[in-house]
Chains A and B, each alone.
Chain A
Amino acid sequence: MSTKATSILEVSDLSVDLALAGGARRSVLRNINLSVYENEVLGIIGESGSGKTVLSRTLVNWTSPPLAVTGGRIAYLGQNLFDLPPDQMQKLRGRKIAYIGSDPGSALDPTIPVGQQIIEKLRTVEPGISTADAKARTLRVLDAVRIPSPAQRFYEFPFQFSGGMMQRILIVDALVTNPALLVADNITQPLDVTVAAQILRLLRDLQRDFNTAIIFVSSALGIVNEIADNVLVLADGRVVESQPTRDLIDKPQHKYTQDLIESLPRIWDADDITPQQEESKEGSRDVILSVREVKRSYQTKDREKLFGHRSVQAVRGVSFDVFKGDNLGIVGESGCGKSTLSRLLSRLEAPDSGQILFKGQDISRLGRKQLLDLRKKFQLLLQDPFNAIPPHLTVGRTISEPLYIHGGLSKKEMWERVRTTMNEVGLRPELADKLPVGLSAGQRQRVNIARAMVLEPELLILDETLSALDQVEQGKLLDLFERLQTRHGITYVYISHDLSMVRRVCNRVAVMYLGRIAELAGNQATFFDPGHPYTRALLSAVPAIEHKPYETETYLLEGEPPDPIDIPPGCSFRTRCPFAFERCATDDPILLRRGAHDYAACHLVDAGSAAPRALPPVKVKRS
């Protein structure tokens, strides 16, 4: 960045207030100063509540009551945005200053094709351009963001696009006028890890081609590290630190930043978790849950044919064993089948074929009464803290519900149990008579946990249970799970998309892709010597501030996973695999043993020299 670079945006002393009910005012942003130069990517990070969303919206002059700007100026190419009359501001917006938010699905009118909407915007901000020219330009940019079959997708509706694809469309919408500045507010948050990595890489390339400055707002330093030249740290409405990215990570100046970096969960540089379960010999430990070749598919209506149905193969033959005392992590992205698997494991649905053995009994074939008895021993915890507990029952009643269902205890005994359990999970006893309306997400999850724990189960399946919580709450609950495990000897199955959490907690990891298990290995092996290219791709895409052993260039995937409706023959990952060879097109690989207890479903394991490209050795940088 040369010192003579043009300044696109100069913010000086910006302050924004929030008007509260009753006339009081709360300060949201205080004396913000920042500058963005031509062709620069500036990252802004902050925790939830730091004011970063308000900042990103104010930068495009999008404040509405109850928020109000109380001071400062934002100079775009020297012109103060606040001084501009509304119609001039309108001209700038959309044309020279663009904004992309974090909710791609609801950004466009769902009833009009996307191409038409982009043309509509183009013709509004550049009056005089003909429809034909607008369409041609749009198609060019659609091509630039690497959307397959752009001419066809031009006419499709927003709901026909996946999250990642829709984000690309919105990027097209933003860049089609060649703006000087693009504000990207948390755009990768709703996306899967590999898709987000693609978007980040795309944004970097586009930024060079279109010569656009980008302000990238996020709550994760790891993501910002991937894309930003400089970083600004926002805390409590103030700019706390501002440095080039690498410098900030290596030598943070402000205490807040230092604490932040300190508390980030490490994947690569972390200490290994205690390998006690890994090393013990197989056979000497009890298998508490055994899943054998489980399959499940759904029928949906085929809109193409007159009366036909299509088969969505959600789970296509999954097998694994869970040993007593284990923490098994099941990871995967959208469409991998892990949500269906969790429904099968908790017997909300029965598999089409295969067996699920809980301590030797096949729960997929049990009758009602026996199933009820068995339910006391294994439970499932769900993700959404706001909907997982009924809103119309008190906390105490919700927690005691399972005791009512299974019966056998007197009222007094029931309430004793409820009180003990509430105490154990860290809920204050006064909450027993309250409705869940006022509780925080963390407290609600504790109610969820208490409800499951009150039956004293032996196996707990946690389906994205911590995903909706912030870092601090997650940490507290993970400690709670550890305590419960030590005290009661519970086995856990964590279904999650958060690899850093899995790295910290799980001693065995199963990676799912398109309804199958791609890799099943111990923690160490999964992260440092994975046998399946998808695992490597996944790990390379996880944003981190440490040096990654897997380079995105080698492993980055293109495109999206194939539809679970039309799965190609052979290995289902072959279409995106950088290491595929002829055998992959014909044979569907099964889980092959690699180490003592590690498996990978990939032909590379036993192909030897037949494979044109072997998996490169993993460069592990250990300090």
Chain B
Amino acid sequence: MLFAIDFFVRRLAQGVVILVGVALLIFTLLRVVPGDPVRLMLGPMVSPSVAEETAKELGLRDPIIVQFGRYMSQVLRGDFGRSFVRSAQGGSTGGSRGESTFDASNRAPVIELIATTVPYSLLLAGLAFLISLIIAVPIGVWAGLNAGKWPDRAALYLSSILVSLPNVWLGLVFIFLLSVKTGWLPAIGYQGWTYAILPALVLAVELVPVIIRSLSVSVSANLLEPYVSVGQIRGLTRSRMIAAHVLRNSTIPLLNVLGIQAVGLLLGGLFVVEYLFNYPGMGLLMINAVFQRDFPIIQAIAIFSCAALVGVNILVDFASTTIDRRLQY
């Protein structure tokens, strides 16, 4: 018990430090790199003085450290700021409207914007996870148990091929073949959960090879451990050794992979896939925010995804130490 407390206290503290560091990095990058958000917000025809006015109002001309400090204190209170361009009613401003219609006080709170999109992304990620596990786990285990023989080689070929399919291209091919040509599955936008299937498939294609590779390597390595053959001499049956010991010990690297690589892949893939399928999740929000130089949204989503990754990291490490007491995290 004491060990658990020590572990979580230590890791959470480190996690917070990491998050602050990441936030600072993104924050600074956005403001250092050329490209003025105010221009985009108000349109190209606005006068420079009004642009400066608005920028000062939004606090964009203060030194970066000051801005960051202000931002952090807001975040601690739960306020992630307001979108630069989206208004509370849902439409986004910017571009063609002039300064008279820009209403700085009625912009949508970032939290709300994100909250509406997160459930969709979760559905997509969850579905992708499920599909990839259903496909990859049996293949990976089978390949690991037959290391060196044809199931293993086949799994290797399969993994290599899947890894070589660029997700954007695959998405388009799927859209073309499975939706446009044949009409089996819906593709663009969202009007029901079936719209998540195609994007989830694309994401799953990215995940499956990673899982297969990790499982087959760890299962075959565990099979070679001395205690497996010794166990059979002691009287245990081979199938019991495999089920109760080899597979169990193979889950640690799998957890590692699932937690860290898979979540990382999913997070990264979400953005692109949602953009491609126009799926109203967090990824689409982020990409649009990038095009519109909507700093608060970019920052917030970046922080959230990092937090998710750090959190998963901590959970995975804790689970690993519980299963294998030798590990020390």
> Given A99-B233, A303-B3, A306-B5, are A106 and B225 neighbors across the interface (CB < 8 Å)?
yes
In B205-255, the 8 Å CB interface with A consists of 225-227, 230-237, 240, 244-245, 248-249
User: Are the C-beta atoms of B235 and A94 separated by less than 8 Å?
Assistant: yes
Interface status of B325 (Cβ within 8 A of chain A): yes
23 intermolecular pairs with C-beta atoms under 8 Å apart:
A62-B233, A90-B235, A90-B237, A94-B234, A99-B233, A106-B225, A106-B226, A106-B230, A107-B227, A109-B249, A110-B227, A110-B326, A111-B249, A111-B326, A112-B245, A121-B234, A159-B325, A174-B234, A301-B328, A304-B2, A305-B2, A306-B2, A306-B5
User: Are the C-beta atoms of A157 and B225 separated by less than 8 Å?
Assistant: no
Interface status of B103 (Cβ within 8 A of chain A): no
Residue interface bits B301-329, CB-to-A below 8 A is 1, else 0: 00000000000000000000001111010
Contacts of A304 in B (CB 8 A): 2
Interface status of B6 (Cβ within 8 A of chain A): yes
User: Are the C-beta atoms of B6 and A306 separated by less than 8 Å?
Assistant: yes
User: Are the C-beta atoms of A159 and B227 separated by less than 8 Å?
Assistant: no
Query: What is the interface of chain A, defined by CB distance below 8 A to chain B?
Result: 60, 62, 90, 93-95, 98-99, 101, 103, 106-112, 120-121, 124-125, 157, 159, 173-174, 177, 301, 303-307
Which of A99, A111, A120, A301 is in CB contact (< 8 Å) with B323? A111
> Given A124-B240, A159-B326, A306-B5, are A109 and B245 neighbors across the interface (CB < 8 Å)?
yes
CA distance A124 to B324 in the complex (A): 24
Contacts of B6 in A (CB 8 A): 306-307
CA distance A177 to B234 in the complex (A): 11
User: Are the C-beta atoms of A95 and B326 separated by less than 8 Å?
Assistant: no
Contacts of B5 in A (CB 8 A): 306
User: Are the C-beta atoms of B226 and A107 separated by less than 8 Å?
Assistant: yes
Contacts of A307 in B (CB 8 A): 6
Contacts of A99 in B (CB 8 A): 233-234
CA distance A174 to B233 in the complex (A): 10
Residue interface bits B129-158, CB-to-A below 8 A is 1, else 0: 000000000000000000000000000000
User: Are the C-beta atoms of B235 and A93 separated by less than 8 Å?
Assistant: yes
Contacts of A125 in B (CB 8 A): 235
CA distance A358 to B249 in the complex (A): 51
Contacts of A306 in B (CB 8 A): 2, 5-6
A interface secondary structure, majority: loop
Contacts of A111 in B (CB 8 A): 248-249, 323-326
With both chains docked as a complex, state the minimum distance between the C-beta of A304 and any C-beta of chain B, in angstroms. Answer: 7
With both chains docked as a complex, state the minimum distance between the C-beta of A215 and any C-beta of chain B, in angstroms. Answer: 14
With both chains docked as a complex, state the minimum distance between the C-beta of A255 and any C-beta of chain B, in angstroms. Answer: 36
Looking at A60, A94, A173, which has the most chain B CB atoms within 10 Å of its CB? A94
CA distance A163 to B227 in the complex (A): 16
**Chain B residue with minimal CB distance to A107?**
B230
CA distance A121 to B227 in the complex (A): 13
Looking at B225, B231, B234, B240, which has the most chain A CB atoms within 10 Å of its CB? B234
Shortest 4 CB-CB contacts between residues of A and residues of B? A94-B235, A125-B235, A106-B226, A111-B324
Given contacts A106-B225, A120-B236, A159-B326, 5 further A-B contacts (CB under 8 A): A90-B235, A94-B236, A106-B227, A111-B325, A306-B5
Which of B231, B234, B326 is in CB contact (< 8 Å) with A157? B326
Contacts of A110 in B (CB 8 A): 227, 324, 326
User: Are the C-beta atoms of B2 and A121 separated by less than 8 Å?
Assistant: no
User: Are the C-beta atoms of B233 and A60 separated by less than 8 Å?
Assistant: yes
User: Are the C-beta atoms of A94 and B2 separated by less than 8 Å?
Assistant: no
CA distance A120 to B231 in the complex (A): 10
CA distance A307 to B10 in the complex (A): 10
User: Are the C-beta atoms of A121 and B233 separated by less than 8 Å?
Assistant: no
Contacts of B227 in A (CB 8 A): 106-110
**Chain A residue with minimal CB distance to B238?**
A90
CA distance A159 to B233 in the complex (A): 21
Contacts of A301 in B (CB 8 A): 328
User: Are the C-beta atoms of B233 and A124 separated by less than 8 Å?
Assistant: no
Contacts of A62 in B (CB 8 A): 233
With both chains docked as a complex, state the minimum distance between the C-beta of B52 and any C-beta of chain A, in angstroms. Answer: 52
Contacts of B244 in A (CB 8 A): 120
**Number of A-B residue pairs having CB atoms within 8 Å of each other in the complex:** 66
Residue interface bits B3-28, CB-to-A below 8 A is 1, else 0: 10110000000000000000000000
User: Are the C-beta atoms of B325 and A121 separated by less than 8 Å?
Assistant: no
Which of A93, A103, A120, A303 is in CB contact (< 8 Å) with B226? A103
**Chain A residue with minimal CB distance to B246?**
A109
With both chains docked as a complex, state the minimum distance between the C-beta of B25 and any C-beta of chain A, in angstroms. Answer: 30
**Chain B residue with minimal CB distance to A98?**
B234
Contacts of B237 in A (CB 8 A): 90, 124
Which of A107, A121, A157 is in CB contact (< 8 Å) with B235? A121
With both chains docked as a complex, state the minimum distance between the C-beta of A6 and any C-beta of chain B, in angstroms. Answer: 23
CA distance A439 to B325 in the complex (A): 39
User: Are the C-beta atoms of A101 and B235 separated by less than 8 Å?
Assistant: no
User: Are the C-beta atoms of A173 and B234 separated by less than 8 Å?
Assistant: yes
Contacts of A124 in B (CB 8 A): 235-237, 240
With both chains docked as a complex, state the minimum distance between the C-beta of B225 and any C-beta of chain A, in angstroms. Answer: 7
Contacts of B323 in A (CB 8 A): 111
Contacts of B235 in A (CB 8 A): 90, 93-95, 121, 124-125, 177
CA distance A60 to B232 in the complex (A): 11
CA distance A120 to B234 in the complex (A): 10
Contacts of A101 in B (CB 8 A): 230
CA distance A68 to B244 in the complex (A): 29
With both chains docked as a complex, state the minimum distance between the C-beta of A606 and any C-beta of chain B, in angstroms. Answer: 47
CA distance A103 to B229 in the complex (A): 13
CA distance A421 to B232 in the complex (A): 51
Contacts of B2 in A (CB 8 A): 304-306
CA distance A90 to B231 in the complex (A): 11
**Chain B residue with minimal CB distance to A57?**
B233
With both chains docked as a complex, state the minimum distance between the C-beta of A358 and any C-beta of chain B, in angstroms. Answer: 38
**Chain A residue with minimal CB distance to B249?**
A111
With both chains docked as a complex, state the minimum distance between the C-beta of B111 and any C-beta of chain A, in angstroms. Answer: 36
CA distance A111 to B237 in the complex (A): 19
With both chains docked as a complex, state the minimum distance between the C-beta of B242 and any C-beta of chain A, in angstroms. Answer: 12
**Chain B residue with minimal CB distance to A95?**
B235
**Chain B residue with minimal CB distance to A173?**
B234
CA distance A98 to B6 in the complex (A): 43
Contacts of A103 in B (CB 8 A): 226
In B86-123, the 8 Å CB interface with A consists of none
**Chain B residue with minimal CB distance to A110?**
B326
Which of A93, A109, A120 is in CB contact (< 8 Å) with B233? A93
**Chain B residue with minimal CB distance to A94?**
B235
Contacts of B225 in A (CB 8 A): 106
Contacts of A95 in B (CB 8 A): 235
CA distance A179 to B201 in the complex (A): 56
With both chains docked as a complex, state the minimum distance between the C-beta of B228 and any C-beta of chain A, in angstroms. Answer: 9
CA distance A157 to B249 in the complex (A): 14
**Chain A residue with minimal CB distance to B323?**
A111
Contacts of B231 in A (CB 8 A): 109
CA distance A125 to B240 in the complex (A): 12
CA distance A60 to B3 in the complex (A): 43
Contacts of A121 in B (CB 8 A): 234-236
CA distance A157 to B327 in the complex (A): 12
CA distance A173 to B227 in the complex (A): 13
**Chain B residue with minimal CB distance to A303?**
B3
**Chain A residue with minimal CB distance to B222?**
A109
Contacts of A60 in B (CB 8 A): 233
Contacts of B324 in A (CB 8 A): 110-111
CA distance A125 to B326 in the complex (A): 29
CA distance A94 to B232 in the complex (A): 8
Looking at B231, B237, B323, which has the most chain A CB atoms within 10 Å of its CB? B231
Contacts of B233 in A (CB 8 A): 60, 62, 93-94, 99
Contacts of B226 in A (CB 8 A): 103, 106-107
CA distance A305 to B2 in the complex (A): 8
In B140-195, the 8 Å CB interface with A consists of none
With both chains docked as a complex, state the minimum distance between the C-beta of A97 and any C-beta of chain B, in angstroms. Answer: 9
With both chains docked as a complex, state the minimum distance between the C-beta of B237 and any C-beta of chain A, in angstroms. Answer: 7
CA distance A111 to B230 in the complex (A): 16
With both chains docked as a complex, state the minimum distance between the C-beta of A313 and any C-beta of chain B, in angstroms. Answer: 22
CA distance A226 to B320 in the complex (A): 45
